[in-house]
Copies of this chain bind each other. A is one copy, B any other.
């Protein structure tokens, strides 16, 4: 099977599996325990915090660990909203977010917060004029992803952050970009961010978030002693060690990897566009390992199932099992018709992707639309 669904999930790298095994055998103590077994686990945890922080040029004091990207988004957004609600209850987000961001926003809306969505440009970026218009005196939080998993388009975070200024807390879901793009969190003016381990060749059920130590937050649950009250539950030191190892390993290879990915991406586009395939969103300002495509007249889900029959695994955008799924709202916001949006399928490369696999993929896609 050719696996081209690396934006959905990745296999663990051998370095990560190794690190996991070693930590599970030797650093299994509860990091909150006061005995030596606890203290040793706690030291390793602090080391991992520094390692994750280094990859985004952030203060390690702002790193908290979670059970994955969804948990990072939900826990961070709720904690930021609760911690800043005295200043206002207005929150802005975008139509390009992961379902977990909308789950958090719906919860906040039920609790009396006002949630608004910024308009989108046809190229897949948020409309900065619309953002400026939405900003109010009581806006406390803006959450806009670094790159959408559906479109792969990279958002102009530095411009957004600059526009927001110091008064509004700026959160960005960086699950799709962490350790896959160069990130300097301060340069981007981002105050808080979410990361996932299993998108960067680490274990599932592990993730992290960053909240600038300058920003106020209040945990979802009262009386939590773990992670300064951010999240209840025994901290998974072996999983976190494997996560940090996986991310650091990926980041080291990144310059050459992203160069290869970019060439694979552009090569595929050059082959496919003349055959009636269309790219969603900007051709250049996008993740180098990501293609959001449609073939005229074909549903994305059908393309995905046909490719699967031909030994290639990719995703039909939604990665959702419900058969009556709505078309991706990101594509509707960019001005596409529901029919066009339903055509979405997503190819995403990873560390192990070879040129042979890319050529075979082009061949299979061509075969599907000509059969």
Contact = CB atoms under 8 A, between A and B. Distances in A.
A351 interface: no
Contacts of A107: 220-222
A37 interface: yes
Contacts of A166: none
Contacts of A3: 29, 37
Chain A contact surface mostly: loop
A314 interface: yes
Interface stretch (A119-127, A129-137, A154-162, A228-236): A228-236
B205 A34 contact: no
Contacts of A308: 34-36
B103 A204 contact: no
A35 B313 contact: yes
* Interface size range on A against B: 35 or more
Q: Indicate the member of A33, A198, A305, A316 with the most B CB atoms within 10 Å.
A: A33
Interface string A59-92: 0000000011111001000000000000000000
A37 B321 contact: no
Interface in A283-328: 301, 304-305, 307-308, 313-316, 319-322
A71 to B, nearest CB: 6
A33 B5 contact: yes
Contacts of A224: 99, 103
B236 A205 contact: yes
Nearest to A204: B236
Interface in A1-45: 1, 3, 5, 8-12, 17, 20-21, 24-25, 28-30, 32-38
A223 interface: yes
A242 to B, nearest CB: 9
A102 interface: yes
Q: Indicate the member of A1, A74, A205 with the most B CB atoms within 10 Å.
A: A205
3 A-B pairs with the lowest CB-CB distances in the bound complex, closest first: A67-B67, A205-B236, A204-B236
Interface of A: 1, 3, 5, 8-12, 17, 20-21, 24-25, 28-30, 32-38, 67-71, 74, 99-100, 102-104, 106-107, 198, 203-206, 220-225, 232-239, 301, 304-305, 307-308, 313-316, 319-322
Given A99-B232, A102-B223, A203-B239, 14 more contacts: A3-B29, A9-B29, A10-B28, A12-B24, A24-B203, A33-B315, A34-B304, A67-B233, A68-B236, A69-B233, A103-B223, A106-B221, A107-B220, A239-B239
8 contacts: A11-B28, A12-B24, A12-B28, A71-B233, A74-B221, A99-B225, A204-B238, A204-B239
